[in-house]
Structure 1
């Protein structure tokens, strides 16, 4: 078997057209997951009655099951639920009109939220309570102490893990092809099938994923250097 090296570049250019969808499926759930993660982390840290056990089950379930199952359950289950509610309440709405990518974003947002909550919770708990007490002693209220003391340090401490989850979800976006989403992996499969050059197409896709991963790592390294001041203690 001889590798068609020039075709790797041809495939690279063709597969790269799917980059916007890949970034959407990667960044969208991370932003949604961040909001979910903050809420879940706050509930678990403050031990809110009734809600905390629900949050614990949520985190355990989504961390303990594959993301591909989350996509399939949401993709197959949400339209049934929406159509059932629409029929019952007379909304006249058909879930089939909702783009499939929306279900992917919802599913992966729940997945990301479970992982984000653990990262955020561990970051917040890593900040010494003495610093918060010191902030109160100089007249700061709870909001000010969280904004100026706790959150900056928690973010700096959590940055490596946030980088890892960013890279992880970049790779996880490849499973969206199972519901006909033409992201990088989906585009690679189509290019490979159309030209019967599977190895070359997958090499091209791997190079794109690798370049994106190095870019994320580089940006994270720059942020870490900027935020080293917070790893040495809070700033007032």
Structure 2
């Protein structure tokens, strides 16, 4: 049984948890960078419909999206060194963070590949054809036209992926990594104040998630600022056109005659 609830322990635990915040953010940053790399590589065969690689990319995405992250952590931490020993590579002395970041990177990459694929295919193909018509190369059309629009579409989804990754790092303590959740478990075991420890942990995760969400929202607005301006311009033009059409109808001979007849006694 735990000790009697004492709210003061919540405020005592928060500074102690923040000492391990760097480890959690390091896992998030490293896994996100690897995820973007793996996701981009996995998305290319499906975008360009490369026969064999396209099937491999689909299997990769299905496996990492369809199995629990905890199972993936165990498979890579305990299984990968044994497999690599068959080809003469010894990873038994590799740090735990290596396997954790690699696993999370591959896991995130499966979601990033689907996000990139859907974002790129949502860009109007006519814009790319127009770019080719004015003499742009495929690389120029992708970097100047497709990629900026695809990023604006993908950022909201990537924001959810990043925040989900932050919460999934809580499973890294199962391999002995002393991150936020691992530190919270230690504090709870030592003091017997389990509820206070978990409340403090939840508050830390909540604040970090809100900060990341706000930063990503700013990035999303910045990437979509041109579209919003175009939408506002089109809406203003629509209002002016509607008002002008209404005035023309009111000044037409038929409208004038109807108003005159309605005013007759």
> Is TM-score (shorter-chain normalized) higher than 0.5?
yes
Determine whether 1:137 maps to 2:139. no
Partner of 1:229: 225
Please report how far the alpha carbon of residue 137 of structure 1 lies from its aligned counterpart in structure 2 after TM superposition: 1.7
Give 1:20's aligned residue.
Answer: 22
Encode CA deviations 1:196-222: one digit per residue, 9 max, x unaligned: 000101111101100010001110111
Q: Is the 8 A contact 1:71 1:103 kept in 2?
A: yes
Match for residue 108 of structure 1 among 99, 104, 108: 104
Name the structure 2 match of 1:147. 143
User: Counterpart of 1:45?
Assistant: 47
3-state DSSP of counterpart to 2:86: helix
Aligned with residue 158 of structure 2, among 158, 162, 167? 162
Aligned residues: 227
User: Which segments of 5 or more consecutive residues in structure 1 lack a partner in the other structure?
Assistant: 87-92
Maintained 8 Å contact 2:4/2:193: no
Match in the other structure for 1:59: 61
Q: Could you say which residue in structure 1 is the equivalent of 2:252?
A: none
Q: Which residue of 2 aligns with 1:89?
A: none
Question: Partners of 1:158 and 1:126 in 2: how far apart?
Answer: 10
**How far does residue 94 in structure 1 lie from its aligned partner after superposition?**
4.1
CA-atom RMSD, angstroms? 1.5
Unaligned runs of 5+ in 2: 231-265
- Corresponding residue of 1:186: 182
Structure 1 position 9, deviation (Å): 1.3
Q: Distance in 2 between matches of 1:171 and 1:49?
A: 36
Quick one: structure 1 residues 169 and 129, their matched pair in 2 at CA, closer, same or farther if it must change by over 3 Å? same
**Given that residues 74 and 103 in structure 1 are in contact (C-alpha distance below 8 angstroms), is that contact kept between their aligned partners in structure 2?**
yes
For 1:123 and 1:231, the matched residues in 2 are separated by 15
Matched, 1:177 2:173: yes
Q: Give the Å deviation of 1:230.
A: 5.0
Greater gyration radius: 2
Q: Comparing 132-141 with 200-209, which one deviates more in the overlay?
A: 132-141
Give 1:34's match in structure 2, choosing from 27, 36, 41: 36
What is the TM-score normalised by the length of structure 2?
0.82
Deviation at 1:117, TM superposition (A): 0.3
Tell me, in whole angstroms, the C-alpha distance in 2 between the residues paired with 1:114 and 1:162.
12
Q: TM-score normalized by structure 1?
A: 0.92
Query: What's 2:74 paired with?
Result: 72
Distance in 2 of aligned mates of 1:100 and 1:220? 29
SS in 2 for 1:97: coil
Find the residue that maps to 2:188 and give its secondary structure.
helix
Q: Cα 1:230–1:36, aligned 2, differ >3 Å: closer, same or farther?
A: farther
Runs of 4+ in 1 over 6 A off after TM superposition: none
For the residues of structure 2 that align with 1:95 and 1:41, how far apart are their CA atoms? Answer: 29
